[in-house]
């Protein structure tokens, strides 16, 4: 369904273009299918639901016994030693009993005690395992239709995200049935975060939209911009997109809180990221979660354990990990829309992920060395304790720098080179350099994401990197002349600097949700922001939410 509504016109248009290049008298008229609002988000939510339903059916039939035995085995391996080592009362009783046994010389009594002790732990494990597995199977097999209908139609995040998962929503819907009273603290927090999101959208995002739309309009039509206009255009869209999308998600979270529902946080200061992996852990978090659980893990994650019997598994695993990272990045770009710009954006992020992962491996190997004996023991333990599926579940797409279990056996190298690298990577200059490279890459990639045609993106890049020269202004009031094609003003650069300050140094407003702040404080702050934002609605320039198009 998503492919039909979203990509039919694009594919047919390219097919017709290809036919013209081959001088074929064959042309398919474009149907111009209207894209329903929020289709991409709803589709991913339903894919996750249907995939999990398919797994439930599998569990309830042939795989149920196997899964129960597997869970019992894993639980016994991990919990048996824990209970035995940490239950101090039982350990004291054991020592006292053993002392009595040795004093009396009663071998039969000693064997009887050991048998009772083992039976105690076995019974504890059986009771714990069976109760949790039965509860898990019960949850998986019982789906309330009313809750599902509410999950499908819950409107705050329906149009532009975040992409919610049925597990986090169904439980909250069920809790609402048992708690019919109004949660005033939720309403106060909802008003606060909703007002913040509305302020981001109306005041900040729409202000940057003026300059971004004007600049891209010039380059997309074959025009040229000077270096100031080019950088202001690209940075304006970078900040417009962030404040527009994060503003909508804040508003969605606020609306959800009005109904007593906590929606997942979708942004966590992504422009503070020091590398591309960290950026994806902070930007559009729910999209990354979906791609991790339903694409990255099925592809093998960064373990690819089905190839572990190969002689060169280490090298093959690294190559497959790079492949998996590239696929999810490219898929993320294509998901956003039907166009070459989206594909190029995903391609650039895929290449960046590959480069960063290789760089991380190289730096890690230069600073660490493995203890081969501990490494062998760790692998043997992993082989006994883990299943392929479980190994994959340890992988988190938004934590692309996560280390494997064997990393605990690494030791720091004491060579001069390793010490110099370690000191350099821990210094402030290195962090600033990483942020500078990461942010500028993100800014450049957004150009292809925004531009209506590829040529317009390249025209803007030409202006940004000095191919079109411009003389530096001597006075501040000369700036509007340098930004004339995009409608810039004297305060344009001030807006950009303030946006940098907000994105890089300020904490996200959603962090306040987990803090225990008086509801009256939230209400007052929310009312003040709402009053300010409502006063801004009188402005003539209003822009729809960008993610409504996706």
Spatial distance between the Cα atoms of 126 and 305, rounded to a whole number of angstroms: 29
Together in a domain, 224 and 257: yes
Q: Looking at residue 487, what is its pLDDT?
A: 67
Task: Count CA within 13 A, CB hemisphere, residue 120.
Answer: 12
Of 512 and 243, the one with more pLDDT: 243
How many CA atoms lie within 13 Å of 303's alpha carbon, on the beta-carbon side?
24
The pLDDT of residue 519 is above 80: no
Query: Per-residue pLDDT for 170 more than 60?
Result: yes
What pLDDT, on the 0 to 100 scale, is given for residue 46?
A: 80
Flag whether 213 is in a domain. yes
Query: Which residue, 286, 322, 283, 399, is CA-closest to 330?
Result: 322
**DSSP structure class, residue 412:** E
User: Are 82 and 199 in the same domain?
Assistant: no
Residue 44: name the closest of 194, 162, 220, 211 by CA: 162
pLDDT of residue 156: 81
Does the active-site annotation cover 336? yes
Q: Is the pLDDT at 276 greater than 90, yes or no?
A: yes
Do both 274 and 408 map to the same domain?
A: yes
Kindly state whether residues 376 and 302 are assigned to the same domain. yes
Asked, for residue 163, whether it belongs to a domain, the answer is no
**How far is C-alpha 473 from the geometric centre of its chain's CA atoms?**
42
* pLDDT tops 70 at residue 399: no
pLDDT tens sequence across 98-123: 555 555 554 444 444 444 444 444 44
Dihedral sign for Cα 354, 358, 359, 364, please.
positive
Residue 194: inside a domain: yes
Q: How many residues does the chain have?
A: 550
pLDDT reported for residue 193: 87
Q: How many domains does the chain divide into?
A: 3
Which 3-state string (H, E, C) describes 420-441?
Answer: HHHHHHCCHHHHHHHHHHHHHH
| Measured distance CA(264)–CA(242) in Å, rounded | 17
What residues form DSSP beta bridges with 368? 412
Residue 443 lies in a domain: yes
Kindly state the percentage of the chain with pLDDT values over 90: 20
Out of 124-133, 211-220, 348-357, 490-499, which region has the weakest mean confidence (pLDDT)?
A: 124-133
Identify the band that residue 177 occupies on the pLDDT scale cut at 50, 70 and 90: confident
- Per-residue pLDDT band for 440 (boundaries 50, 70, 90) equals very high
Last residue of one domain, picked from the residues 108, 142, 176: 142
Average model confidence (pLDDT) across the chain: 73
Mean pLDDT of 10-29: 74
Q: Which residue, chain included where needed, has tokens 């005041």?
A: 203
Q: What's residue 407's pLDDT? A: 46
Co-location of 211 and 93 in the same domain: no
Q: Could you say which of 336, 356, 368, 477 is catalytic?
A: 336
Question: Do 52 and 24 sit in the same domain of this protein?
Answer: no
Residue 231 lies in a domain: yes
pLDDT band for position 488 (cuts 50, 70, 90): low
Q: Is residue 201 part of a domain?
A: yes
pLDDT tens profile 410-431: 677 778 888 888 888 889 999 9
Supply the pLDDT for residue 433: 96
The answer to whether residue 279 sits within a structural domain is yes
Q: What angle do CA 492, 498, 502 make, to 5 degrees?
A: 145
**What pLDDT shows up at residue 431?**
94
How far is the C-alpha of 468 from the C-alpha of 465, rounded, in Å?
Answer: 8
pLDDT at 10: 64
Of residues 1, 31, 35, the one with CA closest to residue 15: 31
Q: Is the pLDDT of residue 205 over 70?
A: yes
Question: Backbone phi, then psi, for 44, in 5-degree steps?
Answer: -65, -40
Same domain, 31 and 88: no
Looking at the structure, do residues 294 and 391 belong to the same domain, yes or no? yes
Q: Is the pLDDT of residue 141 over 50?
A: no
403 pLDDT above the threshold of 50: no
pLDDT of residue 289 exceeding 60, the answer is yes
Task: Encode pLDDT of 359-398 as tens digits.
Answer: 999 998 888 776 544 444 444 444 444 444 444 444 444 4
Residue 541 has pLDDT above 70, yes or no: no
Looking at residue 306, its pLDDT comes to 83
Q: Which domain holds residue 16?
A: 1-35
**Maximal CA-CA distance, the chain:** 103
Give residue 189's pLDDT.
83
Quick one: tokens of 528?
A: 């003040």
Whether 197 shows a pLDDT value over 70: the answer reads yes
pLDDT for the residue numbered 402: 44
Question: What token pair was written down for 98?
Answer: 């053993």
- Please report the pLDDT score of residue 281 as a whole number: 92
Same domain for 29 and 77: no
Specify the higher pLDDT residue, 491 or 348. Answer: 348
H or E element, residue 368? strand 368-370
Domain identity same for 239 and 137: no
pLDDT in tens, 152-164: 888 887 776 688 8
Q: What pLDDT score was predicted for residue 226?
A: 85
Residue 165 included in any domain: no
Domain match, 220 and 357 both: yes
pLDDT score at 157: 77
Quote the pLDDT of residue 4: 60
| Domain shared by 279 and 370, yes or no | yes
Give pLDDT, residue 239: 94
Most confident of 261-270, 398-407, 490-499: 261-270
pLDDT of residue 443: 96
Residue 444 has pLDDT above 80, yes or no: yes
- 44 against 364, higher pLDDT: 364
């Amino acid at each position: 369904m998503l492919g039909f509504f979203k990509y039919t016109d694009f594919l047919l248009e390219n097919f017709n273009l290809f036919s013209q290049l081959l001088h074929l008298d064959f042309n398919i008229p474009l149907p111009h299918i209207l894209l329903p609002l929020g289709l991409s988000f709803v589709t991913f939510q339903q894919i996750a639901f249907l995939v999990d339903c398919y797994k439930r059916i599998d569990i309830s039939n042939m795989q149920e016994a196997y899964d129960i035995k597997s869970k019992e085995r894993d639980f016994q391996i991990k919990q048996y030693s824990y209970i035995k080592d940490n239950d101090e009362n039982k350990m004291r009783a054991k020592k006292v009993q053993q002392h009595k046994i040795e004093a009396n010389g009663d071998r039969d009594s000693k064997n009887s005690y050991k048998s009772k002790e083992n039976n105690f732990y076995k019974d504890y494990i059986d009771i714990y395992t069976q109760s949790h597995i039965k509860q898990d199977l019960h949850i998986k097999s019982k789906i309330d239709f009313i809750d599902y209908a509410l999950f499908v139609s819950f409107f705050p995040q329906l149009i532009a995200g975040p992409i919610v998962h049925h597990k986090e929503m169904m439980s909250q819907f069920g809790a609402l049935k048992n708690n019919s009273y109004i949660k005033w603290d939720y309403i106060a927090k909802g008003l606060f975060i909703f007002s913040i999101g509305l302020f981001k959208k109306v005041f900040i995002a729409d202000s940057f939209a003026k300059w971004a739309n004007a600049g891209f309009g010039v380059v997309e039509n074959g025009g040229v911009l000077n270096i100031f206009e080019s950088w202001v255009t690209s940075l304006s869209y970078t900040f417009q997109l962030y404040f527009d999308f994060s503003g909508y998600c804040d508003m969605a979270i606020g609306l959800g809180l009005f109904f007593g529902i906590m929606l997942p946080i979708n942004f966590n200061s992504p422009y503070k990221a020091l590398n591309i992996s960290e950026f994806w852990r902070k930007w559009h978090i729910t999209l990354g979660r979906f791609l991790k659980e339903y694409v990255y893990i099925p592809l093998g994650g960064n373990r690819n354990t089905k190839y572990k019997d190969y002689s060169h598994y280490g090298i093959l695993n690294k190559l497959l990990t790079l492949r998996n990272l590239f696929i999810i990045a490219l898929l993320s770009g294509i998901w956003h829309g039907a166009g070459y710009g989206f594909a190029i954006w995903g391609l650039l992020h895929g290449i960046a992920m590959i480069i960063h992962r290789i760089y991380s491996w190289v730096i890690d190997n230069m600073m660490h060395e493995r203890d081969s004996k501990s490494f062998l023991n760790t692998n043997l333990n992993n082989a006994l304790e883990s299943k392929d599926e479980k190994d994959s579940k340890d992988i988190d797409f938004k934590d692309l720098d996560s280390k494997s279990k064997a990393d605990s056996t690494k030791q720091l190298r004491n060579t001069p080179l390793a010490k110099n690298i370690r000191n350099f990577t821990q210094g402030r200059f290195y962090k600033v350099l990483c942020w500078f490279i990461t942010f500028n890459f993100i800014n450049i990639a957004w150009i292809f994401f925004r531009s209506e045609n590829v040529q317009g993106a390249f025209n803007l890049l030409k202006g940004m990197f000095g191919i079109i020269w411009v003389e530096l202004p001597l006075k501040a009031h000369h700036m509007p002349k340098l930004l004339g094609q995009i409608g810039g003003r004297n305060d344009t650069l001030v807006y950009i600097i303030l946006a940098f300050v907000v994105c890089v140094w300020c904490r996200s407003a959603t962090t306040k949700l987990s803090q225990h702040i008086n509801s009256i404080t939230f209400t007052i702050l929310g009312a003040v922001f709402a009053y300010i934002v409502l006063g801004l609605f009188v402005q003539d320039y209003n822009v729809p939410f960008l993610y409504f198009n996706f």
